[in-house]
Amino acid sequence: MNIFETTETLPTVPHNLSIPQFFLDYQGNERLVNNGQPVSGLEPGNPWLIEDKTGRQFGLDEIRSRSSGLANAMSTRYKIGQDDVVLLFSRNHVDYPIAIWAVHRLGGIVSGANPDFVSDELLYQIQISNAKLILVHPDALETAVSAARSAGVALDHIVVFNIDSRSTPEGFQSVSDLVREGLDQAINFVEPKIDSRKKLAFLSFSSGTTGKPKAVAIPHFSVIINVIQMAIHKKVFQEYAPWHQRRFRPGDVAIAVLPFYHIYGLVLNLHFILYSRMSLVVVEKFNFIDMLKSIGRYRISHLMLVPPHIVLFCKQSEILKNYTLSSVRSIMVGAAPLSNEVNEQIFRVFPEAHIGQAYGMTETCTSVSAWPITKKTGTAGSAGLLEPGVRVRIFKEDGSFGTYNEPGELWVWSPSNALGYYNNEKATKETFADGWVRTGDVGKVDRNLELWILDRMKEIMKVRGFQVAPAELEGCILDHPDVNDTCVVGVPDDYSGEVPLAFVVLNSDAAKRAERDINEGAKIKASIQKHVSDNKVYYKRLSGGIEFVPSIPKNPSGKLLRRVLREKARELKMPRAKL
């Protein structure tokens, strides 16, 4: 059995602390990643959270106070306690983490839901998680009310986040109301004693790219240890280089455009950034131009992004000239692989920044690998080096475990791995085996212990018996000057088994040309076809054709929803070309 792992070791991390106790209360937790030594240079006066729209700042003392007040009110008014589930149905908000830590103070469990869900989707999550209380963004209140009624949740168990100067909808309590109520009362709760390795903190739903989402059972320890793994990997708090060359420094400023209800935004963009004693600018909803403005306004130094964000930077270089982006020092890309072509483009857009990819998933409670601190930019196409404490196996098609550079299904063991799927024994047995997570991703590990994600197993196409990875073709297509976004799926073919079909989003200029003249659209398609043919082997040509679409469907983490476009491809009933 071939197991890949680094020689880096993890410190002994307490097992009796909840997430808020570790991140907000535990004194000297930064010593865990600094060989037990005190850390110089910490600035206690720096804000922890900054509201993007208003510039309002929250320091540690206010965060502790608000989370305690909210916990007190939830305990008194709603009887939230041990193992009760509170569902957060909201966009990012400065009180979103406050709500998380308040629930954890009571021994409860948090489940974050996509605020763009329709009623039936939210109903599904309420029922699977058995949520007792719902905290909702006002824009999603109507959906929350509809789903709550269907689930039998009383409407007085819906609480609304405060947005700007908007008044609280009549008949509902607001989060700020509850904070004030809780602070005005005597403390009515006692934080339970826990074993953080077993006590559930989150029910985070998997991406659902291959069927209905499953509730991933994540204990407190998984979040804590994954932050520690990343901090050691990135040498946070360690004096390994001159101050100006260190990648993560207390006092730096990151931006949170990733949704907190997704595992990447929750663990790395929120908890890891705050653990690193950096300020976090909380953005309610991603808008590219607004993000560019915020980078200049707040002197953002760190971006945590997904591939669609990177494509915007690469494809709209003319727009970038209108904004001040010189403060950006580090860009982490996760949730889906970047092609070599896109990697090289983003390196050119930010030539002075540290840029690289990381890999992880909900079932591993985020990061498994990330580009190392020894490289300013990650190896193009690589998901980086394995983090300390992570073990990896490669399961090949013949049933054996692979060695260096042999592709196969990636299996991961990490102290941050989830406990399984909540109340779903069958799915747990299919994915979790003796502490290992079968990722469903095709990968390989090279002799430098760099991890390479080649594609999803179920997304690999077989063309004339050859394996074709959609991500490889997408990277090539994105390098075409007329293309803004793309997704490749396999469509049935009598001769070849499957052939690649590309759904393509044109840039504005090319789209206008194609709309004005049908022949111009045909020319653009021919040009894209030729571009792929010139750069890829014959069986990787787009023999299934090209379809122009206004947008590519993605889930909140930025992963392409190929199943949606596979269905669309079937509906087209287009003739299958022969190679």
CATH of the domain at 94: 3.40.50.980
Is residue 450 located within the same domain as residue 509? no
Write down which residue in 455, 486, 502 finishes a domain.
455
Is residue 510 located within the same domain as residue 545? yes
pLDDT at 211: 55
pLDDT at 263: 93
Overall average pLDDT of the 359-377 stretch:
94
- Each residue's pLDDT tens digit, 499-521: 999 999 999 999 999 999 989 99
Overall average pLDDT of the 201-210 stretch:
75
- CA–CA distances in Å: residue 446 to residues 337, 366, 390, 440, 450: 17, 21, 15, 19, 6
Classified as helix, coil or strand, 94 is: coil
Among candidate residues 106, 88, 301, 287, the one with its CA nearest the CA of residue 191: 106
Residue 518 phi/psi, 5-degree rounding, is -60, -35
Among candidate residues 86, 101, 175, 177, the one with its CA nearest the CA of residue 137: 175
In a domain, residue 100? The reply is: yes
Per DSSP, helices labelled H in 340-409 are 340-349
pLDDT at 116: 87
pLDDT at 579: 40
Q: Is the pLDDT reported for residue 399 higher than 60?
A: yes
Is residue 246 located within the same domain as residue 388? yes
Q: Which H or E run contains 66?
A: helix 60-78
Is residue 487 located within the same domain as residue 565? yes
Report the alpha-carbon distance of residue 314 to residue 336 in Å, rounded.
Answer: 17
Mind giving me the DSSP string for 445-511? E-TT-BEEEEEEGGG-EEETTEEE-HHHHHHHHHTSTTEEEEEEEEEEETTTEEEEEEEEEEPHHHH
In a domain, residue 102? The reply is: yes
- Each residue's pLDDT tens digit, 400-412: 999 999 999 999 9
pLDDT at 464: 72
Starting at the edge strand that comes first in sequence, how are the strands of the sheet with 173-174 ordered?
Answer: 173-174, 158-160, 131-136, 85-89, 109-113, 200-205, 215-219, 420-421
- Each residue's pLDDT tens digit, 82-141: 999 999 999 999 999 999 999 999 999 999 998 988 898 899 999 999 999 999 999 999
Overall average pLDDT of the 36-63 stretch:
84
Q: Is the pLDDT reported for residue 575 higher than 60?
A: no
pLDDT at 494: 65
- Parent domain of 288: 219-455
The identity of residue 347, as a single letter, is F
Is residue 377 located within the same domain as residue 519? no
Report the alpha-carbon distance of residue 313 to residue 44 in Å, rounded.
Answer: 34
- Each residue's pLDDT tens digit, 453-491: 887 766 778 787 676 888 889 989 999 999 999 999 988
Is residue 137 located within the same domain as residue 246? no
Write down which residue in 412, 434, 455 finishes a domain.
455
Round the average pLDDT of the chain to a whole number and report it: 91
Which structure tokens are listed for 4? 């890949």
Overall average pLDDT of the 424-439 stretch:
92
What's the helix, strand, coil split of the chain in %, to 5? 35, 25, 40
pLDDT at 37: 73
Is residue 447 located within the same domain as residue 470? no
Is residue 387 located within the same domain as residue 336? yes
pLDDT at 576: 45
Write down which residue in 434, 455, 476 finishes a domain.
455
The pLDDT-based confidence of 167 (bands split at 50, 70, 90) is: confident
Is residue 278 located within the same domain as residue 400? yes
pLDDT: which is higher, 417 or 212:
417
Is residue 160 located within the same domain as residue 223? no
Other beta carbons less than 10 A from residue 74's beta carbon: 29
Overall average pLDDT of the 241-252 stretch:
92
Q: Which H or E run contains 123?
A: helix 119-129
Total tally of structural domains belonging to the chain? 3
Overall average pLDDT of the 130-153 stretch:
97
In a domain, residue 340? The reply is: yes
Q: Which H or E run contains 385?
A: strand 385-386
